[in-house]
Chains A and B, each alone.
Chain A
Amino acid sequence: MEQPVTAVTADAAAEPEGARALAHARHIGVFRGGRWLVRHVDITVRRGEIVTVIGPNGSGKSTSAKALLGLIDVDEGAATIAKGVRVGYVPQSISIDWTLPLTVARLLTLTARHSKAEIAATLAQVGLPDMADAPVQTLSGGEFQRALLARAIIRKPDLLVLDEPVQGVDFTGQIALYKLIRDIRDRLNCGVLLISHDLHIVMAETDTVVCLNGHVCCSGTPKLVAEDPEYRRLFGPAASEALAVYRHDHDHTHAHDGSVVALQGGAHHDHDGAGDA
């Protein structure tokens, strides 16, 4: 899929582009506790497009996503979600008190009704079959994360926002999760905003990478970002050499889950046996 480099600059010419977007953050800044958590951040997500935001810890990725969703107020710029856009949000973590008795099915129907069949199908999709009646407190971290993903996608969102969905998920789990996100994007034709602290690996289908470090240090196609001098300066040449991309390999479709995904160019990931520079 050939996608042009997305315009993520904040000049006036980008304005009509932003207007057509599902979600558009224009030059946003969040000032808290006497400092700018993020500043001059531009993110645009369009229908059918996958935008991956990467950056080190504390670089303001979650803050930017929350500002884009209107969960925190911006002190500069503007964040807009187009009218009528249905958002599916998978936060980094939520803490549900033990005293609240919630089953997985109930978690999925907190804000809207869904049929039993729909719930079962969605749970099967995220790899939690037969878990509908399990109390959420008994789920492992990874299972809970997938339950949250299920509750986001059962809404059939126009815009799917995932905050570090692969954290604490092992390598094969990551591949499966990325494949699932791609399938959801293809099926719903939604826009996807994916946040990852992994500076080196982004989903193969990523159209735009936004590299954050308090501000947008660079953005563009994965390849473009890897070659950007500022990315190299910030994270070292080793990082840019290692900016790798997951690609779904259609030549190897005989694995247990029906697919094999090869890691391209991941020099420090060759212990997975899929490294190919």
Chain B
Amino acid sequence: MTGRAMLDDFFTRALVAGIGFAVVAGPLGCFIIWRRMAYFGDTIAHSALLGVAFALLLEIDVIAGVFVMSVVIAMALLVLQRLGTLSSDTILGILSHSALALGIVIISLMTWVRVDLKAYLLGDILTVSRADIAVIYAGGAVVLALLAAIWRPLLAATASFDLARTEGMHPERVRLVFMLLIAAVIAITMKVMGILLITALLIIPAATARRFCSSPEQMALWSAAVGAAAVGLGLFGSLRFDTPSGPSIVAGAMLIFIVSLVLSLAVSRVAARTFNSRG
């Protein structure tokens, strides 16, 4: 009896934390796919492990360490892009894998601390505490408020950097803020999803929502809803089949994506046929 109550409790905490993450990831993820920054998200997530390593080495707060390292990697990206010899894709490939590998190397060298590498890589949503939830919700609220504040200039810069600039929208400034927001979200929610899979919940719900939306704001809201549904589906699956929670949530997101894809293809085929029969 008591065991079941405890189970309910950690499950509820996981659900609350996961939904909090999904609601923040939805709108942010829309901008990531609109701006074709999926690989950037991955790179920042991978660099989080290097941040963990430094935080443990310097004995500072892990979230702060991850955030600072993400910012350093994002700045390195901007500097290397400015040099203009390698493509962004290649630069991201170098930064992403170097950061991940270096993070693992440093952590394995620190024999004096016991680190659960698997928990950082794949996440451990079932162990989130009340304090973790508070961090996710407070941090998430700040991220969403800042995103709302830069919404118009960021959207304009996403459509066209040059147009935004000639019309006084300061696209470089909002891009920088946006990068910081991604770094912040990854630092705050790393514990939920893990470094390897965190960008999945930024990208898959947004891509799923696209087919059913006609405005950017609508898509942001639907992405949040799809993400929350994926968290619920994944966690129940994880409980039912005793599978790891993070990957189960991503599998849930994938399932929703596939169903929506098949549905929308069927709908458009029916529509085409209707038009055909009308001549």
Interface residues of A (CB under 8 A from B): 33, 66, 69-71, 87, 89, 91, 94, 96-97, 99-103, 106-107, 110-112, 135, 151, 155, 161
Q: Is B159 part of the binding interface, using a Cβ–Cβ cutoff of 8 Å?
A: yes
Q: How far is the CA of A99 from the CA of B155 in the complex (A)?
A: 13
How far does the Cβ of B37 sit from chain A's closest Cβ, in whole Å? 10
Name the contact of B160 in the complex, choosing from A70, A94, A103, A161 (C-beta under 8 A).
A94
How far does the Cβ of A146 sit from chain B's closest Cβ, in whole Å? 15
CB neighbours of A101 from chain B (8 A): 210, 213-216, 218-219
Name the contact of A103 in the complex, choosing from B162, B169, B214 (C-beta under 8 A).
B214
Q: Is the CB of B159 within 8 A of A96?
A: yes
Q: Is the CB of A91 within 8 A of B160?
A: yes
CB neighbours of A99 from chain B (8 A): 30, 33-34, 206-207, 210
Q: Is the CB of B163 within 8 A of A91?
A: yes
Q: Is the CB of A100 within 8 A of B158?
A: yes
CB neighbours of B219 from chain A (8 A): 101
Q: Is B167 part of the binding interface, using a Cβ–Cβ cutoff of 8 Å?
A: yes
Q: Is B254 part of the binding interface, using a Cβ–Cβ cutoff of 8 Å?
A: no
Q: Is B152 part of the binding interface, using a Cβ–Cβ cutoff of 8 Å?
A: yes
How far does the Cβ of A132 sit from chain B's closest Cβ, in whole Å? 12
Max chain A Cβ within 10 angstroms of own Cβ: one of B153, B163, B168, B219: B163
Q: Is B2 part of the binding interface, using a Cβ–Cβ cutoff of 8 Å?
A: no
Contact A97-B33, Cβ < 8 Å, known A89-B162, A111-B163: yes
Interface residues of B (CB under 8 A from A): 30, 33-36, 84, 152-153, 155-156, 158-160, 162-169, 206-207, 210, 213-216, 218-219
With CB as the reference atom, state the residue of chain B lying closest to A33. Answer: B84
CB neighbours of B36 from chain A (8 A): 97
Q: Is the CB of B218 within 8 A of A87?
A: no
CB<8 Å pairs between A and B, sample of 7: A70-B165, A100-B158, A102-B216, A110-B163, A111-B168, A151-B163, A161-B166
Q: How far is the CA of A107 from the CA of B168 in the complex (A)?
A: 16
Q: Is the CB of B215 within 8 A of A106?
A: yes
CB neighbours of A94 from chain B (8 A): 159-160, 162-163
In the complex, number of A-B residue pairs with CB atoms less than 8 Å apart: 72
Q: Is the CB of B162 within 8 A of A66?
A: yes
Q: Is the CB of A107 within 8 A of B159?
A: yes
CB neighbours of B210 from chain A (8 A): 99, 101
Q: Is the CB of B166 within 8 A of A89?
A: yes
Q: How far is the CA of A89 from the CA of B159 in the complex (A)?
A: 14
Name the contact of B166 in the complex, choosing from A33, A71, A103, A107 (C-beta under 8 A).
A71
Q: Is the CB of A155 within 8 A of B167?
A: yes
CB neighbours of A91 from chain B (8 A): 160, 162-163
Q: How far is the CA of A94 from the CA of B167 in the complex (A)?
A: 15
With CB as the reference atom, state the residue of chain A lying closest to B164. Answer: A111
With CB as the reference atom, state the residue of chain B lying closest to A148. Answer: B163
* Known contacts A70-B165, A111-B167, then 17 further A-B pairs from the complex at CB < 8 Å, ordered by chain A residue: A69-B162, A69-B166, A91-B160, A91-B162, A94-B160, A99-B34, A99-B207, A99-B210, A101-B213, A101-B216, A101-B218, A102-B216, A106-B215, A110-B164, A111-B163, A111-B168, A161-B166
How far does the Cβ of A271 sit from chain B's closest Cβ, in whole Å? 36
Max chain B Cβ within 10 angstroms of own Cβ: one of A102, A111, A135: A111
How far does the Cβ of B259 sit from chain A's closest Cβ, in whole Å? 19
CB neighbours of B160 from chain A (8 A): 91, 94, 96
CB neighbours of B152 from chain A (8 A): 110-111
Q: Is the CB of B162 within 8 A of A102?
A: no
CB neighbours of B167 from chain A (8 A): 87, 89, 111-112, 155
Q: Is the CB of A71 within 8 A of B162?
A: yes
With CB as the reference atom, state the residue of chain B lying closest to A155. Answer: B167
Q: How far is the CA of A49 from the CA of B32 in the complex (A)?
A: 42
Name the contact of B34 in the complex, choosing from A71, A100, A103, A161 (C-beta under 8 A).
A100
Q: Is the CB of B162 within 8 A of A87?
A: no
Contact A89-B163, Cβ < 8 Å, known A97-B34, A100-B34, A101-B219: yes
Q: Is the CB of A135 within 8 A of B214?
A: yes
CB neighbours of B207 from chain A (8 A): 99
Q: How far is the CA of A159 from the CA of B33 in the complex (A)?
A: 34
Max chain B Cβ within 10 angstroms of own Cβ: one of A87, A100, A107, A161: A100
CB neighbours of A69 from chain B (8 A): 162, 166
With CB as the reference atom, state the residue of chain B lying closest to A93. Answer: B160
Q: Is the CB of A110 within 8 A of B159?
A: yes
Q: How far is the CA of A91 from the CA of B166 in the complex (A)?
A: 11
With CB as the reference atom, state the residue of chain B lying closest to A87. Answer: B166
Q: How far is the CA of A91 from the CA of B93 in the complex (A)?
A: 31
Q: How far is the CA of A58 from the CA of B34 in the complex (A)?
A: 30
Q: How far is the CA of A112 from the CA of B155 in the complex (A)?
A: 12
Q: How far is the CA of A66 from the CA of B216 in the complex (A)?
A: 28
Q: How far is the CA of A94 from the CA of B84 in the complex (A)?
A: 21
Q: Is the CB of B215 within 8 A of A103?
A: yes
How far does the Cβ of B101 sit from chain A's closest Cβ, in whole Å? 31
CB neighbours of A161 from chain B (8 A): 166
